[in-house]
Each structure stands twice: as C-alpha cells, then as structure tokens.
Amino acid sequence: MISFPNCKINLGLSITGKFSDGYHRLETVIYPLLFSDILEVIPSVEGTNELTVSGIPLPGKTDENLCLKAWKQLNEVYNIGAVEMHLHKIVPAGAGLGGGSADAAFTLKILNEIFRLQLTETVLTGFAARLGMDCPFFIVNSPALATGRGEILEPVDINLSGYHIAVVKPDIHISTAEAYSGVKPAEKPIPLGRLIREPVEKWKNLLVNDFESSVFGLYPVIRKIKEKLYGTGAVYAAMSGSGSAVYGLFENIPDLKNEFPGCFVWQGRL
C-alpha cells in the first residue's frame, strides 16, 4: 500500500510555560500542506522487517527511523508481523515542517488498514503521541489548535485554499534543544485561538513564532529569508516550528526558485 505523508506549517507558536517534567507548554495552530513524502508498506514475504530510504538523505541511523518505531509499537500490542517499507523523502528534515512525524503517523494508519486492526482515530492518536509531539496532528490531518505539549488538538475553522505558499529552507539544521534554549516562556495577552480568526492580512502584526527571536539571532540568514519573502509580496511570512524553514503566503506568487540560492524552495497551493 502506498500513501503520501504530507507536512505542515505552524501559524503562530507561543511557548506559554513549562511542565514539571521539563516539557514546554505551547500553543500553535497547525495547518497541513499539499507537500509530501512517499511511503510504501507491504507485509514481508521473507518474514524480516526492513526499511529502505531514497530521495533526500536523512540524518541518523535508519534503524532509529520513526516509521520503524511506529511499526514496533503496533507489533508489540497486536503481533502484526514483519513488513517491508520504502520511504522516498521529499520533505527536508530539520525544517520544522513535521515530515518525520507525518511519516510515522501515516505508518500507523497504513498498518491499521493493511492488517485490519480497526483502530479508531482516538486509539491511533494515542500511539502517535508516544512517537512525537507533532505525530497526533497527522492522524487527524486537518487544521487544529495544538496546546499542552502539542498533543491536545482542537479543530480550527480556517481555510487558506485561496492562497499560494512558498517554503524556503536554508542548509541549516536546528535541533529542538537549540531552539528551546533561547526561549523564555510567557503567557500571551490574547489567545492564539482568537487571533487566528482575524483576516490573513492582519497576521503580520498579530501572529508570533516565539522561536524566531532566538533562532534569528543565531542564524541571521533565516531572518533575511523572512524579510525577502515579505519583499517579494508575501501577505504573511513566518518560520515554521523551530525552523529552519520559513514560509510565505501569497495571493499572487512570483517564481522564487532563483531568489534563494543555496536553499531548498517549494511552491504550491494551500
């Protein structure tokens, strides 16, 4: 079975506090993109578990990939047996786009279908939450306000289908620890769930990604990408997640492929 794990962007991201276990409390609106990897999963004929990867090279060891961890979770509970998986990476890693989380969540959904486990969305979301904070979103895969550690999802009535988007990722990998190290948690005067209802044209002065202040200081090139997106006509631009990808929303989008030398650039519709 073949599926297409899509990625996401964050529309605003506030770090509002910290839990006793060290995890941060956050508030963000997550929006799915029509930009995806390709994942194939089939039951293993040889009875051996295998994951092969092509496309954009992935950091780390293959046996630590979240797709394998997703299979392991379900196999430990339901004894589904070995599978062969092939992941063709198109979404860059270390970008704040949730590509790896999407791959893991879609693995859970494919395995549920292949082996007819009949697991509900709620049960799958529970498995996904153990894999990573962004993973539960991709089980539902529709616009949502994420709170808590990112695992509490509330549907958001927002439709950006009339806009174009450009995603620009420089050759910079930002670790989660590095991104959080420069953030000072603080409650916001107006909840993001209320701000997101304002017209997109107002978001520039309303929505904030708390990671930007520290990341831009460490990597000025990322700040310059955001400024350039506004300079080329973006209605709204921001870093996604903890970076390093920056996106811009456009009513009419120019061809930006040559505007950001040395960067990965993807353009499409929302």
Type of residue at 119: L
Residue 265's nearest CA partner among 189, 166, 174, 199 is: 166
Per DSSP bridges, beta strands 236-239 and 246-250 are: antiparallel
DSSP reduced 3-state for 44 = coil
CB 234 within 8 Å of CB 160:
no
Which alpha helices (H) appear in 130-203, and where do they start and end?
Answer: 135-140, 176-181, 192-195
For residue 255, indicate whether it is catalytic. Answer: no
- Map 151-220 to HEC letters: CEEEECCCCCCCCEEEEEECCCCCCHHHHHHCCCCCCCCCCHHHHCCCCHHHHHHCCCECHHHHHHHHCH
Going from the C-alpha of 37 to that of each of 33, 100, 231, the distances in angstroms are 11, 9, 30
Q: Which of 8, 109, 169, 226 is catalytic?
A: 8
Catalytic, 21? Answer no
Among the listed residues 37, 103, 134, 210, the single catalytic one is 134
Which active-site residues does the annotation give? 8, 134
